Every structure is written in C-alpha cells, then in structure tokens.
Amino acid sequence: MPDSAQIQTEALPLVKPFDAALGAEVSNIDLSRPLSDAQFAVVEQAFLKHHVLVFRQQPLTDEQHLAFASRFGELEGHVNKSTHHKKHDKVQVFSNVKDDGKTTGVHPELGTYVWHTDKSYVATPSLTTVLRSPAIASEGGDTLFTNTHAAYDDLDAQTKQKIEGLKAEHSWKRSREKVGERPATAEEIAAAPPVQHPIARTHPVTGRKCIYVGSHTSHIIGMDYDAGVQLLKDLEVHATQPKYIYRHKWQVDDVLMWDNRSTMHCVTPYDAAKEKRAVHRVVVKGDKPV
C-alpha cells in the first residue's frame, strides 16, 4: 500500500473519450505520486471501458513508472534481455539513441512495426502495457491501436461460429522469423516455448469477446497449415480496418497504457537515421486466455 502521507488529495481524474473506436485522455492527475483508491478506481474503470488511456505531461522517473504500473498487478520482465534497462530489469528500453546522443540509424525492434498484442507468445500474456516517451520523432513513429472487441462484434455469424473453439499457436521464435529480426536464441526459446490460445478470446473482467491474433501467431491448431495462416491473415485485416483504429501522435512525456486483452497495436514508420525516438515500457502480468 502507498504511504498515506504521500497519497494525492486532489479532485478525481477527468476522463475524455476520443472520437475514435477506443481511447481516452485522463487529466487532472499526477502519476509521479501514489494514487488514492478513489483516483485509481476512476483510472481502472476508464481502462476497462476505453482500452487505451493517454496521460499527457507526465515526466516520470523509471521508479515512478514502475510504481504506477504495479498498482495494476505483478510486473514482469521480457524474454529479450538485450532491451532491459541497465538498472531496472522490469523496464524495457526501445531507443535508437546512442550514449553519445547520435542515432543508431535503425528502429530498435522490427516486430513493433506490425500488428500484435504484447507477449501473446507466453502462457499468461500481458494484462497491460504502460509506455512513456522520453524522446519522440517529429514525423512518424505514431502508435496505432485497434479495438478487437468491436472487430469481433462485427463478424458475421458464420465466421464467429467457424472460429469458436479454434486455437492458434503463438511463438516468439516464429514471430522473429516473420519480421526478419535476429533469430530467437536457445535461451529465449526455452523461456518462451510456443503456446496455444483461443482465436476468439473472452475478456476475464468484462466478458466481451475479441479477435485474438497478430504477428506472434504461427498457425491454427488442427487446421490445414496454409488455410489456417490465411484465416489468421483475414481476421487481422478485418480487425485493423480504419473504423476500429485510434492513432496516437506522441508528445514528450506522454504516458500510455492499454489493455492487451482488448487491443492490437503497431508503430508507424519514421526516419530512424534522422529522428530520435525512445520509449520505456513496463508490462503487467495477465491471465491465461480463454
């Protein structure tokens, strides 16, 4: 529990939904300080309702970032140890900025350019991801989010019946291969062996179903390989139509959090040789998809 002497006593946060299929901005809140139970309740309900929350002008330290994220559950690390923060193993750093201030010239993780839901390649994928932006690209580098509940709701009855009970294999190894990243190491494969999750996933809190696919999927269990891959592609194309998407244009010191049980996301291209872009990421452990 946070120190009662440090808990905020300001008015409750204000939630302003975006004119999009998902997302809302939360203001009148300071994430650098512990939230009261009442403040946290407002944030939590907004999170479940809007799936993506944006907090502007939040210049957090890594310690404050970790403290805020931990209100939502157990924090977890990542199989890709090369991205771990030097001091905090529960913080991932995706940056193209070198110690001398120059750019590396390349985007740090190609897998973020394609639609995915975080850590679906483990048995208990992430509940939420909390991301902050110490450095942003002046052009490009936006993050797109899609409402996979709305996409599921709009499927025709025949497709819903077809995918009910089907499971897809999600694989860190296959995910790396699909985007042309460095191959998964033997240590990473041992830490994150392939897992199977339902294609039509039920949210454990709201009970809503969503389309649970993305770049970490390999194939559909029990279906002809090529036919299964095509079905996964068709579902992703359906779920990423513009009507389901919110585009986030980053500002310095934004904090974003999203529900990985309700969304997919990806980053838009930017000039990684010219533009400096850095994000710090903390993830909260979720539950086994059903």
Residues taking part in catalysis = 116, 118, 265, 281
The Cβ of residue 183 has, within 10 Å, a number of other Cβ atoms equal to 10
According to DSSP, the β-strands at 52-55 and 209-211 are: unpaired
The secondary structure of 240-276 as a DSSP string is TSGGGEEEE---TT-EEEEETTTEEEEEPP--TTT--
Cβ–Cβ under 8 Å, residues 215 and 109:
no
Shortest CA distance to 198 belongs to which of 211, 181, 183? 211
Q: Which residues contact 213 (CB under 8 A, 6 or more apart)?
A: 168, 199, 232, 235, 236, 239, 264
Q: Do 264 and 214 touch, CB atoms closer than 8 A? A: yes
Under DSSP, the state recorded for 77 is -
Taking CA atoms, 236 is separated from 147, 199, 212, in Å, by 11, 11, 9
Tell me the two tokens of residue 222: 């029990």
